[in-house]
Chain A
Amino acid sequence: MHEVALAEGMMRIVADAAARCEAARVSTVWVELGALAHVEPQALRFCFDAVARGTVAEGAVLEIHTTPGVAWCMPCGTQVALARLGDACPDCGSYQLQVVAGEEMRVKEIGIA
């Protein structure tokens, strides 16, 4: 499952930042995942826990914040909420939607000691 690759990507970011700050330990990692992002949060949590073993982030608490999906509806000419890919515009029912937010996967902050 590709969440391992994503967890490795997270670990690289966290380890580099911890090294730059000369931190002995990373206690918390705050991550932002869009509702439309290509990731299963529970799988990411499982994989990060595994990937972090034996590193400066071992045992770190992973805080996941989900951001909403937003799309531009072309017939409506406005932004609308999009809960998942394949949903129609909640207002007019069209599928002519351009996703503008909700696909992000970012490491926002870390807590170090």
Chain B
Amino acid sequence: MCTTCGCGHGQTRIDGVATRAPASAAGFRHADASAAKLDLGAAHGHAAAHAHGSGLGAVHDATTGAERIVAIEQDILGRNNAVAARNRRYFAQRGILALNLMSSPGSGKTTLLVRTIDALKARVPIAVVEGDQQTSLDADRIRATGAPAVQVNTGKGCHLDADMVERALATLSPADASVVLIENVGNLVCPAAFDLGEAQKVVILSVTEGDDKPLKYPDMFHAADLMVINKVDLLPYVDFSVDAAVANARKVRPGLPALTVSARSGEGFADWIAWVVRQRVDAVEARSGVADAPRALAPGHASGAAAVSSR
């Protein structure tokens, strides 16, 4: 945990249960550097092989005193990306469609999720991973629809990461060929940087937020695979141009697909549901490897289609 601002894995809770930080994150914090060295044992005789002339020689002097330069060349998000890849394999093996829903707080993500579940639950198993700093309010709303939900409370954290999703999936145990909806922490900045292993990143922008937001928060819209403009029932009451919002988003993410909906009135919702269903067909086909998706869902299929509700 960061001792200055309190963020960090140490405060993550999944359905109220505190999770332990990954072993290596805790392991590097120690009072005595020599203690860590002793923990390694005697198996390392190759330290000398790491020393070399620096690749950034033009930028700094590689021979400052007793300092030895060691090449690293590792992506800062490497570990998150590795866990995200594991999540992606988990979903692929089970034919599960995973969607990462991101937006500002108050854009209507949870209302949209509730309406989505109500529209699909008769034909598709749906499970939800809910991300918030605190409370289980959103998970409770989801569970009221009958869909299983796991609440991840990040504490001071501002985004979900792949670790949190991996642990939530262990609790959730979603059915084969289901849809897993991951509602990220309400935040139009940070979640964009973290791959969770999802198939698609869906960014929700409501009409009360302003059509310039894609330009002001470019990282989020640059990372998006679909933009959903919500609360269109309020268009008569706000100065929001759908065309401008879409054009702005396409300046940072050329060709970004966009849908307009009202999770409250249902306007445009059929197109959103159709999009989800199409993505799910892709996920199921990719897993079973057969072109005819309905055959893969037939009763008696060895992959566990018993978990899939029939039409």
Contact = CB atoms under 8 A, between A and B. Distances in A.
Contact of A85 (B5, B194, B252): B252
B29 A54 contact: yes
A104 B59 contact: no
Counting contact residues on chain A (CB < 8 A from B), the size range is: 35 or more
Interface residues of B, number: 61
B111 to A, nearest CB: 26
Nearest to B251: A95
A23 to B, nearest CB: 8
A104 to B, nearest CB: 7
B69 interface: yes
Interface stretch (B74-82, B132-140, B144-152): B74-82
B170 interface: no
B94 to A, nearest CB: 28
B161 A65 contact: no
A4 interface: yes
A19 B67 contact: no
Interface in B64-89: 64-80
Given A50-B2, A109-B72, A22 B158 contact: no
A62 interface: no
B166 interface: no
Contacts of B77: 6, 9, 105
B199 to A, nearest CB: 20
Nearest to B219: A38
B64 A111 contact: yes
28 contacts: A2-B189, A7-B2, A9-B76, A10-B76, A11-B25, A12-B28, A12-B79, A17-B70, A19-B40, A20-B44, A20-B47, A20-B50, A22-B47, A28-B67, A38-B219, A50-B3, A54-B29, A65-B56, A88-B251, A96-B254, A105-B77, A106-B73, A106-B76, A107-B72, A108-B55, A108-B71, A109-B71, A110-B72
Interface of A: 1-2, 4-17, 19-25, 27-28, 30-31, 38-39, 46-47, 50-51, 53-56, 63, 65, 74, 84-86, 88, 95-99, 104-113
Interface of B: 2-5, 7-9, 24-25, 27-31, 33-34, 36-37, 40, 44, 47, 50, 54-56, 59-60, 64-80, 157-159, 161, 189-190, 192-194, 215, 218-219, 222, 250-252, 254
Given A6-B193, A8-B9, A56-B28, 7 more contacts: A9-B77, A9-B79, A10-B76, A12-B79, A30-B56, A30-B60, A106-B74
